[in-house]
Amino acid sequence: MSDCVAIVSGGMDSVTLLYYLVKVKQRQPAVISFKYGQKHVKEVALASEHVRLLGLTDHLVCDLSPMRELFKTSALVSSDLHVPTIEQVQGDSQPITYVPNRNMIFLSLAAAYAESHDANEVFYGAQRHDLYGYWDTTLDFLERLNHVYNLNRKTPIRIEAPFVTYSKGDILRQGFAIGVDYGKTWSCYEGSTTACGICPTCAERLAAFQEIGVPDPIPYQSN
């Protein structure tokens, strides 16, 4: 019987969150994942694998890719837009990798999933971005959104982001302490066979592994 909902993409942050909920907090999350036309849709299969490895019973994969028109301005979705390098987005408060209102959409559907499971909490893997930014991963966003959900008259949902102040290095330290296999996570926005190593999320990921002095187990292009 699930007692909360966790949004898990298959990336390193949300997979660590899932293990944290199960191993540290002894929770039984119902997991929700999303396809939305992202080039790196291969991440979703990894979310499913962790659900299986952890013996969880509820996993809903919502396919929003028929609505990918909504996200056409994002380089994560549009084939017309190149995924930028970290240098191209550094300091940008809303770079071209931003997916319009993605977190609000994911959290809204996750909150409905929680309501229909009579659960009161939705967890998501927002973390501190050091090099660029998104408005929908901040503490401000979280607080204001909870102020909305608090109005629900029967099942007020609480949105929780335990890693909202963590760097990616902090997340790795947490994950290694509880046995996360990062070889079974995917971050690269390109979604190719090997990770590109230069897109914003690869750059952040590689820097985090370097910070903690452990090699990243996933294969990178040799450039």
Closer Cβ to a second copy, 117 or 184, answer by number: 117
Task: Decide: is 153 part of the binding site for a second copy (CB under 8 A).
Answer: yes
Closer Cβ to a second copy, 141 or 163, answer by number: 141
* Stretch binding a second copy (CB under 8 A), from 43-51, 63-71, 165-173, 208-216: 63-71
- CB-based contacts of 4: which residues, under 8 Å, 6+ apart? 21, 27, 28, 29, 30, 114, 119, 120, 121, 122, 123
Closer Cβ to a second copy, 102 or 205, answer by number: 102
Binding mask 85-114 for a second copy (x = CB under 8 A): --------xx---x-xxx-xx-xxx-xxx-
One DSSP character per residue, the chain reads ---EEEE--SSHHHHHHHHIIIIIS---EEEEEEESS-TTTTHHHHHHHHHHHTT---EEEEE-GGGGGGGTT-TTT-TTSPPPPHHHHTT-SS-TT--TTHHHHHHHHHHHHHHHTT--EEE------SSS--GGGSHHHHHHHHHHHTT-SS---EEE-TTTT--HHHHHHHHHHTT--GGG----TT--SSB-S-SHHHHHHHHHHHHHT----S-B---
* Smallest gap from residue 156 Cβ to a second copy (A): 9
Task: Tell me which residues in 21-50 interact with a second copy (CB under 8 A).
Answer: none
Closer Cβ to a second copy, 130 or 219, answer by number: 130
* Smallest gap from residue 189 Cβ to a second copy (A): 18
Binding residue for a second copy (CB under 8 A) from 23, 27, 42, 62? 62
Task: Tell me which residues in 130-149 interact with a second copy (CB under 8 A).
Answer: 133, 135-136, 138, 140-141, 144-145, 147-148
Size of the site for a second copy (CB under 8 A): 42
Which residues of the shown chain bind a second copy in the complex (CB under 8 A)? Answer: 60, 62-63, 66-67, 69-73, 93-94, 98, 100-102, 104-105, 107-109, 111-113, 115-116, 133, 135-136, 138, 140-141, 144-145, 147-148, 151-155, 157
